[in-house]
């Protein structure tokens, strides 16, 4: 069992070059603004290997940059072994949700998978498209703008849920024998989720 802090969130879409890197950048910025640096770790991945090693789609980068978000991204595929180290796995559409839950090694791990837009208090789950964030990959820049709007609308609710989980988590116990938790011991960004 891992240490209860930091709280680890991984966003997952299809190829990890559009929706999930956008969600990662937005949520990381919101967590930082909320003073949760060091308490929340944010990551992203794709359900497939098609773009492994690539950066984010240039249109996703352009939209993020235009709205003041920073990103430094390398695409990779989600691995079932990561569930043990993650607190939440945030799917960008219902196809990802089903695929990730099927990949989960245990029912507890499957319960960690949630749809991003389920955290948007104003979304109508019965509307056309439901809780999905549509893939902008085959669209135009406006589709990337709409994607960002959906991500931003859900990020506040997700941040509230993570804050509540952090408040409810037991404080990590320090032992006289245990080494101090040092940032130098942390894995480099862009590697396996920590």
Catalytic residue list contains 135: yes
Catalytic residue among 19, 28, 76, 117: 19
Catalytic residue list contains 19: yes
Catalytic residue list contains 10: no
Catalytic residue among 10, 13, 18, 147: 13
Strand ranges, E, within 30-95? 40-46, 88-91
- How is residue 119 written in tokens? 């955290």
Catalytic residue among 54, 85, 135, 143: 135
| 8 Å CB contact between 136 and 114 | no
Which residue matches tokens 């999930």?
20
Edge-to-edge strands, sheet with 7-13: 40-46, 7-13, 88-91, 113-115
Collapsing DSSP to helix, strand or coil, 179 comes out as: coil
Residues annotated as catalytic are: 13, 19, 135
């Amino acid at each position: 069992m891992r240490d209860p802090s930091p709280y680890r969130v991984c966003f997952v879409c299809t190829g990890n070059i559009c929706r999930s890197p956008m969600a990662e950048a937005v949520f990381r910025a919101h967590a930082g603004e909320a003073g949760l640096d060091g308490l929340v770790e944010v990551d992203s991945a794709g359900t497939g290997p098609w773009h492994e090693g690539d950066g984010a789609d240039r249109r996703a980068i352009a939209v993020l940059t235009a709205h003041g978000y920073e990103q430094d991204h390398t695409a990779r595929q989600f691995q079932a072994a990561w569930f043990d180290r993650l607190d939440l796995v945030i799917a960008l559409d219902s196809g990802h949700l089903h695929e990730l839950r099927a990949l989960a090694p245990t029912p507890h791990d499957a319960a960690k998978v949630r749809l991003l837009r389920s955290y948007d208090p104003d979304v109508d789950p019965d509307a056309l498209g439901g809780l999905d964030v549509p893939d902008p990959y085959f669209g135009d820049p406006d589709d990337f703008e709409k994607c960002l709007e959906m991500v931003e609308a859900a990020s506040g609710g997700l941040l509230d849920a993570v804050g509540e989980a952090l408040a409810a988590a037991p404080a990590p116990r320090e032992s006289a024998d245990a080494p101090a938790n040092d940032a130098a011991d942390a894995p480099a960004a862009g590697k396996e989720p920590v």
